[in-house]
Amino acid sequence: MKAHWVDGVLVGLLVGVAVVLVEMQHQVRDLIQELETEKARTEQLEAQWRRLQTEHAEWLQPQRLQELARRLGLRPPTPQQLRAWPE
Contact in structure between 58 and 64 (CB atoms under 8 Å): yes
Q: What's the whole-model pTM score?
A: 0.56
Q: What is the dihedral of CA 15, 17, 19, 22, to 10 degrees?
A: -130
pLDDT digits (tens, 9 = 90+) for 38-80: 999 999 999 999 999 999 999 889 999 899 899 999 998 898 8
The fraction of the chain above a pLDDT of 90, given in percent, is 66
Mean pLDDT of 11-20: 93
What residues does each domain of the chain span? 42-67
> Any idea what DSSP says for residue 77?
P
